[in-house]
Amino acid sequence: MSPRPARSDRNTYRSRTRRLLERHLAAMLVAALVSMSALLVSYREVQISAGEMRTRGAPAVQGVAATQLALLRAHKEARASLDSGIADVVGAGARYENQLAAADQGLSRLSDVQIDGDRGRGVLETVNGVLTSYSSSITPGAVKYVTDPLMQQEKFAEAETLLTREGTGVVPRLDVLQGHQMARVDTLSTMSPVQWSGWVVAELGLLAMVLITLSALWVLRTRCGHSLDLCLLVSLLAVVFLATGPLIATSETQDRLGAARDGLVRIEQQAGHHADLAGSQQAVTDTGTRVRAGLAARGWQSGMYYGALTAAALVVLLPAVGIGRHLNADYWRTG
């Protein structure tokens, strides 16, 4: 009668070990799915923000500033032609025409890249309409009324009002659009509480994966007599990579987004320096070039997402293969 309790104890021990391994496997799969979903979504959101900043945010902010400065300089050149008497011969002058053409091109590009949605499109449509009225005032002032100084001054004053009048002028309307765009830039360059929560969930889930994997390796070695399982070891390495690689890439991306935001703030400030319009235009161009260069995509960061996808697949599949193989060989197949 003595062997029966020993056999019963062995069966109980085997049953407990099997259930322990099954719990480890279930916990690893749950932790892997939760952490991988949170990590991949959070990482992708940061890269999307960087892409929008690079392709639309920076060009839009620079475009508004450049358009404002071009319009103001065009008006200044037209006024200079009038004051110097050149307008009697050549109208508003070639410099005026060049700057106005630059402003028209800037507005055309803004319609494609502005980041204020329907509200921004509405502002640009209004600006285009006001600019038509502006041209209708300044062109006769520079060409038609060259022999009527009073009417000429009135037309120039009317044009300047359309350009700079607070609230309804072209430049103030573009200031409003720029303010909305800078608010969007702040959103793109700053991690929201939801994004922070996603990273916290991802890192905690990966930490749980490490602990569960180490515990599973200990169970296999001490209770089952198996040496270190290669699948679980590779899975452990993949977890470590996921916990560090995407986080480093995200940190660098956030640094570049912060630097880009600071550069765009300088562009907004440079657009407000009307004393030296030519110098402000050059400063806006130079700063915009540096901002775009800083936002240029890094090859290794683009590849990081696909590397993370591969590692995530390994983290989900390898524990199932490693623990499942032992469960099948030692417990399920033998009953």
Distances (CA, A) of 59 to 67, 171, 190: 12, 18, 19
CA 73 and chain centroid, separation: 33
Nearest 5 degrees, angle CA 27-CA 32-CA 204? 90
59 part of a folded domain = yes
283 part of a folded domain = yes
What is the sign of the dihedral through the CA atoms of 108, 110, 113 and 117? negative
17 part of a folded domain = no
Number of domains in the chain: 1
Percent of the chain having pLDDT more than 70?
Answer: 85
Compute the average pLDDT of residues 278-284. Answer: 90
Helix 3-52 with 170-189: angle, nearest 10 deg? 160
205 part of a folded domain = yes
Listed range (55-59, 153-157, 224-228) with the worst mean pLDDT: 224-228
The pLDDT of residue 19: 84
All residues at 6 or more sequence positions from 242 whose CB lies less than 8 Å from its CB, including other chains? 35, 36, 39, 206, 308, 311, 312, 315
Residue 266, pLDDT > 80, answer yes
The pLDDT of residue 17: 77
Percent of the chain having pLDDT more than 90?
Answer: 45
Res. 285 pLDDT band, cuts 50 70 90? very high
The pLDDT of residue 167: 85
Residue 53, pLDDT > 90, answer yes
Question: Pseudo-torsion of CA 94, 100, 170, 75, nearest 10°?
Answer: -10
* 278-300 CB burial, b ≥16 within 10 A, e <16: eebbebbeebbeebbebbeeeee
Residue 334, pLDDT > 60, answer no
161 part of a folded domain = yes
Residue 77, pLDDT > 70, answer yes
324 part of a folded domain = yes
Quick one: 320 exposed, middle or buried, by C-beta within 10 A (0-12, 13-18, 19+)? middle
Residue 105, pLDDT > 80, answer yes
Compute the average pLDDT of residues 50-66. Answer: 93
Listed range (24-28, 226-230, 304-308) with the worst mean pLDDT: 226-230
In contact, 318 and 238? CB cutoff 8 Å: yes
5 part of a folded domain = no
The pLDDT of residue 10: 65
Compute the average pLDDT of residues 223-230. Answer: 74
- Residue in the structure block whose two tokens are 């072209």: 170
Compute the average pLDDT of residues 195-216. Answer: 93
- In 81-136, beta strands by DSSP E: none
In contact, 46 and 255? CB cutoff 8 Å: no
Structural domain boundaries enclosing 179: 22-332
The pLDDT of residue 186: 95
Evaluate if pTM is beyond 0.75: yes
The pLDDT of residue 331: 60
